[in-house]
Amino acid sequence: MRKTGVTSATTGTAAGGGAGWPCCGGLNLSVRLNVLLLLSVVATNLVSLYHLSLRAATVPPVLLQQRQQDGDQELVLIRQLDAIRAGVSQLNHLRSSSPPPPPPPPELLLYSRLAPVASACSAHPDLLHRYMSYTPFVPCPDDALSLAEPLLLRGCHPLPRRRCFSPTAAASASKLLPADPFSPLPDAAVRWPKDGKCKSFSCLPPSLGFDVARTEAARFLRARGPLDLTAPQLLRLASLSRAGPIRLGLDIGGGTGTLAARLKKLANATVVTTTMNLGAPYSEAAAARGVVPLHAPLQQRFPLGDGTMDVVRAGHAVNRWIPEAALEFLWYDADRVLRPGGLLWVDHFWCRRSDLEGVYAAMLRRLGYKTIKWAVADKSVAGGGNSGKDEVYLTALLQKPFS
């Protein structure tokens, strides 16, 4: 069962963090005085017109007829005053019947500072203007890395649609795509940047996940230590915990899609991998391996239905560099897409040892999940290096409650 009655430490901060919201409370004293002066002038004029219309309405018929003979100017004025008085009365009625809008909720204030809502694209008018400055019905500008990626990273997601033809790799690359996701990737599957350093997958460091035939072929098959969780172990633990079969999954920051490829071979599962082309063609590599790349930044809501995923994995991209409040939103979005009994796999999450229990472990425990695996190890030892910093890795497998 879920743990209830526990309040997030970040929610209280959000409630007091609304100073930047553009509401009426933010007006300074000079603006308020100007508004009051303007209202007093308008009110004085309306009162004068109102009394004038009353006096004009009490004019005797004989005098009114005499004035009509001299001209209809005063009668026209009276009618105009009556119209003004009726308009003011209608405005006062509408004002009294329309309550002021409620203040924004604290959660919206907090989330808007972490991931800009609605106005994220318009907040970067220069980039957006350049991105939408194109000629319709012809090939699109080659701006995927120079404009599209920076806009996505700044929260402009999804990007606006364009009526042009996006550039793609050569048609001959389709004949070279491998049937086995652990076969070498064809270089022709990528449109390599003209001014880029690398023009082939072999040029990229194997640690980035592009050496799929050797380095990636061993991943999720053999455990090198207590932090590692292999794909066969995942499938076995899912069965023992009554989580059911692994059919659908989400791999957050999954690189070139190695977990998706492995689970596809072992269990015929479909795993969607979130990717961003940060210095390397991760999306193209995942697609060339026959898995689904989801080109989306970490700060945005996962474009998946509620309660649809059997497993959600958070890879190396999810770590302590993400602000604490933004990270907690991410965990609860993972909870949203997981079905009851689904598995949340926190894989090699790294942070300072002093922050593990007080910040990140407490954040995960607030989800109220059952702990299936929880392993912590020194980062310098587990990573095979000597960083000299007091940092640790955490690997956890947690199960969402069934009800």
In Å, the largest CA–CA distance within the chain is 109
> What digits encode the pLDDT tens for the residues 117-145?
545 677 788 888 888 999 999 999 999 98
Question: For residues 272 and 283, is the Cβ–Cβ distance under 8 A?
Answer: no
> What digits encode the pLDDT tens for the residues 177-231?
999 999 999 999 999 988 888 999 999 998 899 999 999 999 999 998 999 999 9
Question: For residues 260 and 273, is the Cβ–Cβ distance under 8 A?
Answer: yes
At 87 the pLDDT is: 72
Helices 61-70 and 73-97 pack at an angle, to 10 degrees, of 110
**Cα distances (angstroms) measured from residue 336 to each of 302, 303, 333, 344, 399:** 9, 11, 5, 11, 13
Find the angle CA(393)-CA(397)-CA(398) to the nearest 5 degrees: 125
Question: For residues 51 and 43, is the Cβ–Cβ distance under 8 A?
Answer: no
Task: Determine the Cα–Cα distance for residues 97 and 343; give it in Å rounded to an integer.
Answer: 51
Delineate the domains of the chain, giving CATH numbers in brackets: 106-154 (no CATH), 185-400 (3.40.50.150)
pTM: 0.72
At 300 the pLDDT is: 86
Nearest to 336 by CA among 374, 315, 365, 305: 305
Question: For residues 293 and 261, is the Cβ–Cβ distance under 8 A?
Answer: no
> What digits encode the pLDDT tens for the residues 60-118?
555 545 555 555 666 666 777 777 777 777 766 666 666 777 777 776 677 666 655 54
Hey, what are 284's tokens? 């193209």
pLDDT category of residue 56 using cuts at 50, 70 and 90: low
Q: Is the pLDDT of residue 19 over 80?
A: no
* Buried b / exposed e along 168-203 (16+ C-beta atoms within 10 A): ebeeebeeeebeebbeebbbbbbbbeeeeebeebee
Burial of 12 (0-12, 13-18, 19+ CB in 10 A): exposed
